[in-house]
Structure 1
Amino acid sequence: MSETVAVVVVTYNRADLLARMLTGLEALHRQPDAVIVVDNASSDHTPDVLAAATNAGLEMIRTDDNLGGAGGFHRGVRAAYDGGFDRIWLMDDDVVPAPDCLDVLLAQDEACLIAVREDLDGRLVEKAATRFDLRNPLAIRPKTESVDSRYDCRVAMPERVEVQNVAFEGFMIRREVVTAIGLPDPSYFIFYDDVDYAVRAQRAGYRIWAVRDAVLVRQLDFDQQHDLSGWKGYYMYRNLFVVHLRYGENALVRLKPWLVTAAVVLLSPVRGGRREAANVIRAMRDARGMRVGPSRSVD
Structure 2
Amino acid sequence: MLKKVDAVVVTYNRLDLLKKCLQALLSQTYKLQNIFVIDNNSQDETLLFLRELSKKYPSIKPIHLSTNIGGAGGFYVGLKAFIEKSKSDYVWIMDDDAIPTSSALTKIMNKTNQIKKFGFLSSNVRWKDDSPAKMNIPQPTEDWNENITQGLVEVEYASFVAILFPREVILKVGLPIKEYFIWGDDVEYTKRITQAGLKGYMVIDSIVHHEIKQNIGTNIVTEKDENRIKRYYFAKRNTFFTMKKRYNKKEFAKWIINVAFYEPIKILHSSPNKKILRIKTTYKGIFAGMIFHPHIYRFKDSKK
Q: Same fold (TM over 0.5)?
A: yes
Q: 1:101 to 1:298 in 2, by over 3 A?
A: farther
Q: Is the 8 A contact 1:237 1:283 kept in 2?
A: yes
| Partner of residue 101 from structure 1, selected from 86, 93, 104 | 104
Q: Which amino acid aligns with 2:251?
A: V
| Partner of residue 289 from structure 1, selected from 288, 291, 295 | 291
Instruction: State the match for 1:4 in structure 2.
Output: 4
RMSD: 2.6
Corresponding residue SS for 2:111: coil
More helix by share: 2
Where structure 1 has 5 or more consecutive residues not aligned to the other structure, the ranges are 133-146, 151-155
Residue 280 of structure 1, CA deviation: 2.1
The reply to whether residue 92 of structure 1 matches residue 91 of structure 2 is: no
Q: Which amino acid aligns with 2:138?
A: A
Q: Which amino acid aligns with 2:128?
A: L
Counterparts of 1:6 and 1:231 in 2: how far apart (Å)?
34
Counterparts of 1:63 and 1:35 in 2: how far apart (Å)?
16
Q: Is the 8 A contact 1:35 1:56 kept in 2?
A: no
Counterparts of 1:234 and 1:190 in 2: how far apart (Å)?
10
Where structure 2 has 5 or more consecutive residues not aligned to the other structure, the ranges are none
Q: Is the 8 A contact 1:38 1:75 kept in 2?
A: yes
Alignment of 1:16-95 (within 5 A): 16-53=16-53, 54-83=56-85, 84-95=87-98
Residue 118 of structure 1, CA deviation: 2.1
Instruction: State the match for 1:201 in structure 2.
Output: 193
Q: 1:9 to 1:298 in 2, by over 3 A?
A: farther
| Partner of residue 130 from structure 1, selected from 126, 130, 140 | 140
| Partner of residue 217 from structure 2, selected from 221, 224, 229 | 224
Q: Which amino acid aligns with 2:63?
A: I
Alignment of 1:155-194 (within 5 A): 159-194=151-186
Counterparts of 1:182 and 1:17 in 2: how far apart (Å)?
29
Residue 113 of structure 1, CA deviation: 0.5
Q: Is the 8 A contact 1:246 1:293 kept in 2?
A: no
Q: Is the 8 A contact 1:37 1:61 kept in 2?
A: yes
Counterparts of 2:288 and 2:254 in 1: how far apart (Å)?
15
Q: 1:15 to 1:157 in 2, by over 3 A?
A: farther
Counterparts of 2:231 and 2:291 in 1: how far apart (Å)?
19
Q: Is the 8 A contact 1:246 1:291 kept in 2?
A: no
Residue 123 of structure 1, CA deviation: 3.0
Counterparts of 1:261 and 1:43 in 2: how far apart (Å)?
37
Counterparts of 1:13 and 1:224 in 2: how far apart (Å)?
22
| Partner of residue 214 from structure 1, selected from 198, 206, 215 | 206
Q: 1:263 to 1:217 in 2, by over 3 A?
A: closer
Counterparts of 1:28 and 1:268 in 2: how far apart (Å)?
44
Counterparts of 1:232 and 1:201 in 2: how far apart (Å)?
26
Deviates more, 1:6-15 or 1:94-103: 94-103
Q: 1:252 to 1:293 in 2, by over 3 A?
A: farther
Counterparts of 2:82 and 2:167 in 1: how far apart (Å)?
9
Q: Is the 8 A contact 2:127 2:215 kept in 1?
A: no
Residue 13 of structure 1, CA deviation: 0.7
Alignment of 1:243-254 (within 5 A): 243-249=242-248, 251-254=249-252
Counterparts of 1:55 and 1:108 in 2: how far apart (Å)?
28
Q: 1:226 to 1:65 in 2, by over 3 A?
A: farther
Counterparts of 2:199 and 2:254 in 1: how far apart (Å)?
27
Deviates more, 1:102-111 or 1:77-86: 102-111
Corresponding residue SS for 1:173: strand
Q: Which amino acid aligns with 1:261?
A: A
Counterparts of 1:97 and 1:262 in 2: how far apart (Å)?
40
User: TM-score, normalising length from structure 1?
Assistant: 0.83
Query: How many corresponding residue pairs?
Result: 277
Identity %: 26
Counterparts of 2:236 and 2:288 in 1: how far apart (Å)?
10
Counterparts of 1:13 and 1:298 in 2: how far apart (Å)?
34
